A = this chain, B = another copy of it.
């Protein structure tokens, strides 16, 4: 059976809101929010499984992602988020195994990636947003449940003789703890590798003092003191936050979107699909008015503030394309509109970067651009007349696999221009911790220096080519043919080989927890998700829950 036929045929919609949640609840008390998971077993994303024991599928994770976003934007007063369980003696049992068993390879891989990204967004809140997450493990955290807890900065495990933390994937399911678990165990919590080996092969996991001694959790707390101690710790962490005392948040109103077969329209973004060429064009539109005067006006505009509206649209569009359009292999980024307006918004953001809301918007943009980096589709940018690749939008030129800029010598339209701003030199970092220009010019520090000193200048095609800001600059005569050949050629390659190639070329330079998770752990998990020992007829993932024992090919690769 071809893989495409096994795709869970449910369209994923990433828009939700607390009043629609079925699995999570948010409650706020002073500077502390409690994010409680009580999964409704019957409210599944697709058919064929039940979400028992606080296990999750993509539907549960979509709510979590929404909650994390809302806590940041709607609740400036929240400085600590306590993640806990709303059901008895189980914090979270991880990704639902039956769901994994019935999902296509593509869905599994996309699901794991999105889950990882959400966990990174939790770490981003703790590290950069003054909103620290802690895990109040009032029951067992198993598999993906422990991986979720690992995304928080402080793990408190109830000492009731039963509650444990575990990563039972290898012994039980013949797959990896693939949503960051292995990397976070040895690289974030820095658990000694031999102890990590033991931990990851013991089905029942660890509890009690050993879990603390091995650095798997930070603290064991007796049942009688659990709530009190969690509150105490939450308040202690809240005290160190730089979030404002009395600001009011902005409401993340439902994202507008019009869906048609081959076109999805958002405010400031149109996605057009060309099924023949298996490509989608993301046309980002410049602001339709002048930038607000200052932070008060930004707050008033809320989700309609252009940088935020554009980022939300792009975030949703990328997730939509990943989950719902798996055969669209090439994404083309275009921009249109007034570059001066983009520049004005750039300046506004840069000038007010210390404001809590502006900081949130920039961090969200950073996470969304990272999502583009991590999208396993070929990405191109076309710089054409009428475009506005300025500052934050220019950064997309350095995110894509290649960029083409029209050299307008014979064209009558005004030549397209590229302009760099301060935002290209620090605010928008990749997973590797570098800016996109730093990564681009790893071997060429002089070009990086020149780029910096060209802030504010207009680059036409020849200047941009000379400065190394674009890949090619065809002229009017060649443009159309070149673009056509480019798209046809790309569409003729093996999607798998492109995925592997792009994942290896995009992240030169230093590695971080994030690049290890996406570059290494994900690749191994992708491999294992294909292996008969996991997903074959007698594989462990397939047979889980049937009472039958998996049969393994014993050859080591």
Q: Which residues of A contact B (CB under 8 A)?
A: 2-4, 7, 105-106, 109-110, 169-171, 173-176, 182-183, 185-187, 189-198, 200-201, 215, 278, 326-329, 376-377, 400-403, 439-444, 468, 471, 489-490, 492-506, 508-511, 515-516, 519-521, 523-528, 530-531, 533-534, 540, 550, 552-557
With a CB–CB cut-off of 8 A, which chain B residues contact A509?
Answer: 187
B193 and A501 contact, CB distance less than 8 A: no
A472 to chain B, nearest CB (A): 8
Cα distance A502–B200 when bound, in Å?
A: 10
**Inter-subunit contact A540/B494 (CB<8 Å):** yes
Contacting residue for A504 out of B442, B494, B521, CB 8 A: B521
Report how far A489 CA is from B553 CA in the complex, Å: 16
Distance, CA A218 to CA B350, complexed state (A): 41
Closest to A105 in B: B557
Contacts of A377 in B (CB 8 A): 556
With A and B bound together, what is the CA distance between A196 and B182 in angstroms? 31
**In the complex, A183 Cα to B505 Cα: how many Å?**
7
- Asked if A443 and B4 make an inter-chain contact with CB atoms under 8 angstroms apart, the answer reads no
Closest Cβ of chain B to A434, distance in Å, is: 12
The quantity of this chain's copies bound in the complex is 2
Q: What is the bound-complex CA distance between A530 and B526, given in angstroms?
A: 10
Q: For A556, list chain B residues within 8 Å (CB).
A: 106, 326-329, 376-377, 495, 498-499
CA distance A525 to B201 in the complex (A): 26
Q: Could you tell me if B3 and A553 are in contact, using CB atoms closer than 8 angstroms?
A: yes
Q: Is A401's CB under 8 angstroms from B176's CB?
A: no
Structural contact, B496 and A557, CB atoms closer than 8 A:
yes
The answer to whether B504 and A170 touch across the interface, beta carbons within 8 angstroms, is no
The contact sample of 15 A-B pairs, CB cut-off 8 A, is A3-B553, A7-B555, A170-B497, A182-B505, A183-B504, A189-B443, A192-B443, A193-B508, A194-B403, A200-B501, A201-B489, A327-B554, A328-B556, A511-B515, A511-B516
Are A494 and B170 in contact (CB-based, < 8 A)?
yes
In the bound complex, CA of A525 to CA of B509 (Å): 20
Closest B residue to A519 by beta carbon equals B520
Q: Knowing A4-B555, A198-B471, A497-B175 are in contact, say whether A504-B524 is a contact too (CB < 8 A).
A: yes
